[in-house]
Amino acid sequence: MAETADSSSGSVKNMWSYYFQKLLASVPLFLEGLWMTVLVSGLSLILGTLLGFCIGIARTSRFRLLRFFLSFYIDFMRGTPYLVQIFIVFFILPEWGLQLEAFSAAILSLTLYAGAYICEIVASGIEAVPTGQREAAIASGLNWFHRMRFIILPQAMRTILPPLVGQYVLLVKDSSIVSVIGLTDITRVGWLTVQRIPEGLMVFGLVGILYFCVCYPLIRISNWCERRLAVQDFQI
C-alpha cells in the first residue's frame, strides 16, 4: 500500500515537472503575447485619451445638438458589453464595406470604448471647476481656447488625473477580450497553451502574472497621483 502511494505521489510530481518544463518552453510565445497586449493597449490608450478629451470638452459646450449626439454615443458604448462592440467592428462593419484586420479592429474598438469613459471623466473634471474661475477668465477678455488652455483644463486635471489612470488599468484588462477575434495577445496564448498543457491553474496563473506586471505600474501611478493631489489640497 505504501509503495502504491509513493508511486502515485512520484507520478504526480513527474507530471507537474513535465508540465512546468513545457510551460517554460512556451515562455517566448507568452512574451510575444505580452508585447501584443502592451502594443494594443498602449495605442488604444493614447488614441482613446485624445478622443476622450476632445469629446469631453465638446460635451460641456452650449451646443445642444452636439451634446445629444455625444450622449447617444457615450450611452451606447457604456451600456453595451465590449464583446458586442468588438464583434460589431470586426464582423458587422465588413458588411458595410469596411474590412478591418484583427489588429486594426482591436485598436478601433478599444479606442471608441475607452473614449466614452474618458469623455465622462474629462467632462466631470471640467464641470468641477468653480464657476467663478470661468467668469473671471471671461472678464479678463480670454477667448474660449485660451480659457480652456490656461484656466479651466489646468484646474480640471487635478480632478481628472487619478480616475484617468485608473481607467487605463481597466483598459489593459479589457484588452484581453480582443483574443476572441484571433489577435494573439496574452489571453489567446494562454488558451492555445492550455490545449497542450492541460493544467489551467499553471497556465492562467502565468497569464495573470503577466497582466499584473502591466497593470501594477499604472496602479502605483494612480495611487501616487491621489496622494500627491491630496497633499496639495491639504496645503491649500
Model pLDDT for residues 31-70, shown as the tens digit of each residue = 999 999 999 999 999 999 999 999 998 888 877 888 888 8
Task: Tell me if 2 is assigned to some domain.
Answer: no
Question: From the CB of residue 166, how many other CB atoms can be counted at a distance below 10 Å?
Answer: 18
pLDDT band at residue 230, thresholds of 50, 70 and 90? low
Mean pLDDT of all residues in 109-121? 93
Considering its fold, how many domains does the chain have in total? 1
Mean pLDDT of all residues in 80-107? 90
Global pTM value: 0.85
Task: Tell me if 26 is assigned to some domain.
Answer: no
Grid cell 465588413 is found at 94
Task: Tell me if 32 is assigned to some domain.
Answer: no
Per-residue pLDDT at 11: 65
- The answer for residues whose C-beta is within 8 angstroms of residue 100's C-beta and 6 or more apart is 89, 90, 93, 94, 108
Task: Tell me if 114 is assigned to some domain.
Answer: yes
Give the range of the structural domain holding residue 121, as residue numbers without chain letter: 38-235
- The answer for residues whose C-beta is within 8 angstroms of residue 74's C-beta and 6 or more apart is 55, 59, 116, 119, 120
User: What nine digits make up the cell of 93?
Assistant: 462593419
Mean pLDDT of all residues in 90-107? 88
CB 57 within 8 A of CB 126: yes
Q: What distances in angstroms separate CA 165 from CA 61, 75, 119, 121, 139, one per listed residue?
A: 25, 22, 13, 11, 34
Task: Tell me if 178 is assigned to some domain.
Answer: yes
d(CA 145, CA 135): 15
Is residue 4 pLDDT above 60, yes or no?
no
Per-residue pLDDT at 231: 58
pLDDT band at residue 226, thresholds of 50, 70 and 90? confident
Task: Tell me if 52 is assigned to some domain.
Answer: yes
pLDDT digits (tens, 9 = 90+) for 147-168: 888 888 888 888 888 888 889 9
Per-residue pLDDT at 1: 46
pLDDT band at residue 112, thresholds of 50, 70 and 90? very high
The CATH number for 44's domain is: 1.10.3720.10
Task: Tell me if 66 is assigned to some domain.
Answer: yes
Task: Tell me if 94 is assigned to some domain.
Answer: yes
